[in-house]
Amino acid sequence: MPEVIQQLPENVSNQIAAGEVVQRPSSAVKELMENAIDAGAKRIEVRVVDAGRTLIQVMDNGSGMVHADAKRCFQRHATSKISVAEDLYSIVSKGFRGEALASIASIAHVELKTRHASEEHGVHLQLEGGKAAKPLPCVLEMGTQIAVRHLFFNVPARRNFLKSDAVEMRHVIDEFHRLALAHEEVHFSLHHNDSELFNLKASSRRKRVVGVFGSKYDERLVPVEESTDVVGVEGFVGKPEFARRTRGEQFLFVNQRFIKHPLLHRTIMDAYEGLLPRDQYPLYVLFLTIDPARLDVNIHPTKTEIKFDEERHVLSLLLPAIRRGLGKYAVAPSLDFEQETGLNILPLDPSRNVPEPAVSVNADYNPFRTPAQSNAAPSVSGNRSSNALRPGRGQMDAWKKLYGDALTSDPISVYDDNASVELVQSEVGEGVTPLLSEQAVDQKRSVFQFQQRYVATSTRSGVLLIDQHRAHQRVLYELLVSQLENATSSIPVQRLLFPEVVELNTSDRHFVLESREWLERMGLLIEPHENGVQITGMPAEGESTPARLIEAVLEDDGNDLPGISRAERVAAQMAQSMAIRSGKGLKEEEMTDLLDRLFGCSTPDRDPFGRRVIVNFDANDIEQRFQ
């Protein structure tokens, strides 16, 4: 039998590891910034071009590396953080696996310049696809400069899966936020295509949070601080009134390492119970300090997952700490047990003359008096006659006319069990689209609203019940998508008399402005503003606000769905925000127009998110109800 097992070449194994460690440009930014922090840098500058596709450059003033370490750092599992297995239980550095630089070098063109304080000159090293050229001396201040060009140049399949520059840059900014928030003692800066996005000088933790998100966030922060022998919690949570429908402002750190922990997130949300609706998420930047021996950070290549030895103790401290912080700053309702239980009644001014209450009664008022009688002079007699409570002749005539019309009108038709009813049978598969095309809803159909949520109408073989909110979503979605596909068409736009400013942090502002071109084709007119974006126009149809439309744009998570572009996903979110709400009363002509437009859609039986819009009750179903 021939031998089939072979040792993989080093460059192939590094590319496999890169698939886990370096998933997109932001992953490379994260690894390079973490190396700079571990090197003790007090100033870190990050530059990216084309959201990291063309260039990622990180420069720091850390300790640097000697010549031998500079050549060895690109070898797989080469690290200065651990030497024995026991070191895994006392890790305080960001990186320790020794896979990041080897993985990045195997899929990009890398240029390294570094100098240690013990050497007179630095070393300049270039690598292409993991293959290193001869190192050269260079003049450099103490620290390290590393540039990554043409990421995934030899892995075209991975490069093709990258999203648009707006989405990729948003991921880069997210990684920058996480490290900048965790290390307020470091001066960070970020440039994209020669444009400065952040310049965060070393400051206090509160100032760093405000520097990352904007000056308006200073009033939104509620301090949280609590500690025990096992764990300490400090940081900030947001006031409930500033919560958002989109995620992205939730940061949880353990020993200055950003982590994702669903159970801890759920506990934080439980602290807001009764203060927030389910579809809103508050801001929080919380730091947990725990003995490294009580943690296991070596469970995921990206080091964003963690395990606690005493998880229940952490949860039991986190929940009351947040509630206490919210209550202390009068954000959450609380009881004041020192308040006097008596009524706070001010004493009466002795010099004030209090008149006796008087009651004014119009003894001649008669609700049944006709207008002619009302114009007559009122009776001077204070006595009420026995006919005062009887309706006047004019009212009696009006009542007789009303009931007379009802008695002389056509009687209401009732169902006759003996009458022969012709049923139209239809073969319907999934959905109701074939039913609609076959039964051809009558143009003179009667419509009515049920519970101000559903619109009911009849067909030749039954009754249709339509969800008005989802139906309008489908109509608006196809209208918005048609604007994306047809550049010559135009959607009705309502110009705002007073442009509205929507405050956004730097990440969200950059993300929205990068999408401005195709957002304007869908009727959302946007201009840059120093505090966010300025809305000058919005689609004329729908019931939304500029702030809600921007939230709909930001709800896109960047995850591709088969056959659906990001613009189409945003169109679905915008349609959901603009659609008429359940609970709104509709006039008959409004219901008729909605149904006409719905039946003209390509997929009337489903909303943009795949939920059912129409429920059909055919004559057989209705007849069985009466048996």
Tell me, what amino acid is at 562? Answer: P
> What is the reported pLDDT for 301?
66
Q: How far apart are CA 218 and CA 181, in angstroms?
A: 15
Q: How far apart are CA 276 and CA 236, in angstroms?
A: 17
pLDDT tier for residue 354 given thresholds of 50, 70 and 90:
confident
- 3-state secondary structure labels for all residues of 303-320: CCCCEECCHHHHHHHHHH
Q: What tokens appear for 84 in the block?
A: 């024995």
Q: What tokens appear for 373 in the block?
A: 């009688």
Residue 333 has pLDDT above 70, yes or no: no
Q: What tokens appear for 463 in the block?
A: 């009754």
Q: What tokens appear for 18 in the block?
A: 């890169």
Residue 493 has pLDDT above 50, yes or no: yes
pLDDT tier for residue 387 given thresholds of 50, 70 and 90:
very low
pLDDT tier for residue 536 given thresholds of 50, 70 and 90:
very high
Rg (CA), the chain: 35
Residue 467 has pLDDT above 80, yes or no: yes
Q: How far apart are CA 21 and CA 301, in angstroms?
A: 6
Residue 212 has pLDDT above 80, yes or no: yes
Residue 460 has pLDDT above 50, yes or no: yes
Closest CA to 100 of 249, 303, 251: 303
> What is the reported pLDDT for 252?
93
Task: Give the chain's mean pLDDT.
Answer: 79
pLDDT tens digit sequence for 223-252: 999 988 888 999 999 998 888 887 888 999
Question: Could you give all domains of the chain from N- to C-terminal order, each with its CATH number?
Answer: 10-202 (3.30.565.10), 209-328 (3.30.230.10)
Evaluate whether 309 touches 294 at the Cβ level (below 8 Å). yes
Q: How far apart are CA 119 and CA 112, in angstroms?
A: 16
Q: What tokens appear for 281 in the block?
A: 């998420």
If 0-12 CB within 10 Å is exposed, 13-18 middle and 19+ buried, where does residue 191 land?
A: middle
The three-class DSSP label of residue 612 is: strand
pLDDT tens digit sequence for 507-522: 888 888 888 888 888 8
89-98, 268-277, 439-448: range with highest mean pLDDT: 268-277
Q: What tokens appear for 296 in the block?
A: 């296991």
Cα angle at 181 between 216 and 167, to 5 degrees? 80
> What is the reported pLDDT for 76?
78
Give the orientation angle of helix 546-554 with respect to helix 566-578, to 10 degrees. Answer: 150
Residue 203 has pLDDT above 50, yes or no: yes
More confident residue, 409 or 614: 614
- Distance set, CA 45 to CA 27, 211, 280, 523 (Å): 16, 16, 34, 38
Evaluate whether 150 touches 108 at the Cβ level (below 8 Å). yes
Q: How far apart are CA 131 and CA 112, in angstroms?
A: 13
Query: Across residues 565-582, what is the average pLDDT?
Result: 87
Q: How far apart are CA 540 and CA 511, in angstroms?
A: 24
